[in-house]
Homo-oligomer: A and B are copies of this chain.
Amino acid sequence: MSSPSQRPAAPRIVVINPNSNAEVTAGIDRAVEPFRAAGVSIACETLAEGPFGIESQRDADAVTLPLANRVTRSDAEAWVIACYSDPGVHVCREAASAPVFGIAECAVLSALARAERFGVIAIKDGSIRRHLRQLRELGLIGRLAAERALNMSVAETASGTGTLERMVVVGEALRDQDGAGAVIMGCAGMARHRRPLEDALGVPVIEPCQAAVTLAIGTLLG
Instruction: Decide if A65 touches B62 in the complex (CB within 8 Å).
Output: yes
Asked if A73 CB lies within 8 Å of chain B CBs, one says: no
**Contact indicator B34/A221 (Cβ below 8 Å):** yes
B218 touches A210 (CB 8 A): yes
Interface residue A169 (Cβ < 8 Å from any Cβ of B):
no
Q: Contact at B136–A139, with CB atoms within 8 Å?
A: yes
Within the complex, which residue of B93, B112, B139 is in contact with A143, where a contact is CB–CB below 8 Å? B139
Contacts of A105 in B (CB 8 A): 112-113
Q: Which residues of A (71-95) have their CB < 8 Å from a CB of B?
A: 88, 90-91, 93-95
CB neighbours (8 Å) of A99 from chain B are: 114, 204
Contact, CB under 8 Å: A38 / B217: yes
9-residue interface stretch from A1-9, A19-27, A53-61, A152-160: A53-61
B113 touches A101 (CB 8 A): yes
Q: Are the C-beta atoms of B113 and A106 separated by less than 8 Å?
A: yes
Interface string of A141-178 (1 = CB under 8 A from B): 01100000000000000000000000000000000000
**Residues of B with C-beta under 8 A to A143:** 139
Q: How far is the CB of A120 from chain B (nearest CB, A)?
A: 15
Contacts of A116 in B (CB 8 A): 129, 132-133
Contact yes or no, A215 B68, CB < 8 A: no
